[in-house]
Amino acid sequence: MRHQDIRVAVVTGASAGVGRATVRLLARRGIAVALLARGRVGLDAAAEEVRAAGGRALPIEVDMADHDQVVDAGRRVETELGPIDLWINNAFSSVFAPFQQTRPEEFRRATDVTYLGYVHGTRAALSHMTPRDRGTIVQVGSALAYRGIPLQAAYCGAKHAIVGFTEALRCELLHERSNVKLTMVHLPALNTPQFDWLLSRLPRHAEPVPPIYEPEVAARAIVGAADRPGRRAYWVGAPTVLTILGNRVAPGLLDRYLARTGYRSQQTGGPVDHDRPNNLWQPLDGPGGHDHGVRGSFSSRAHSRSPQAWLSRHRLAAVAGVLGTAAGVLAWRRH
């Protein structure tokens, strides 16, 4: 489904970060966008950006962990904007903490939003796309879907689960000879607001592990994948040594390496206020909150372009892998 065939798109987690950047790009293409997220302030600001670009926007407050809310949102989109051509699952929440310092209810909540939110979104999308036998679903994944790292057990577990779920469903769609397309886009470390609003029990402020990319890099890849949904997955930025070498060549060695370096590389030198508000249970851009926008606080270190994303999009996966590995090794050594 080329972009000229996409008239109505749904983006979850649309109020900030990668979702917000994706919404902006879709709006510039003249696509009507339904924005799904929990925070009213961020949703309204994102919707205004769509309208300023000349597009139609439908902001809907929805908790992706609640199946009924997601189903209702899908029905509302079909009624108010028209048939859904593209559904992008992107919403997530998580906890920065060692597993044993993550409370059971927090782990469950992160899983409900990040993993089951994708399941609910996919189910809602298919309920409209399958009868028409057309449409595209894009799952926004992560390099951490293939290699877990310390201090992010809830997030890594959910992203791994999304891969297994998506692969199983893709086989079923192929078996049914369905024309509904399903693909994944795996992201590297990104400069989004998540490091300022996720629940953290780390002694210092959380940070992304270099190489870091701006959210707009991810947005271009996500929309590009929607234009060419036949591929199983696309990589954005360097998947790093973690995914290319680590699991395929020396997973045990990588475990020990991450045990030594994975704590330091995910924290800045500055302290964190453990009493600060976080978005695990309630949005920080809800009533009384403020709009967090697209980018986080690491723009001075973030890349605005990714040669590997271009290579992956043009099916030069082997070259992309080599470049990604080299970039990852260099970044880890410098850090």
Assign 215 to helix, strand or coil: helix
CA distance 300 to 86: 33
Q: In which residue are the tokens 């890349």 written?
A: 303
Residue 104 has a CB neighbour count (10 Å cut-off) of 7
Among residues 50, 45, 18, the alpha carbon closest in space to that of 34 is found at 50
Please give the Cα distance from 70 to 109 (Å, whole number): 16
Instruction: Let me know if 255 is exposed, middle or buried by CB neighbors in 10 A (0-12, 13-18, 19+).
Output: middle
Q: Which of 118, 146, 155, 234 is catalytic?
A: 155
| Contact indicator for 298, 195 with CB cutoff of 8 Å | yes
Give catalytic status of residue 155 as yes or no.
yes
Cis-peptide into 229, omega within 30 deg: no
Q: Tokens in use for 125? A: 């999308």
What CA–CA distances, in Å, run from 257 to 70, 131, 186, 264, 269? 41, 49, 23, 12, 21
- Do 202 and 267 touch, CB atoms closer than 8 A? yes
302 has which bridge partners? 212
Catalytic positions are: 155
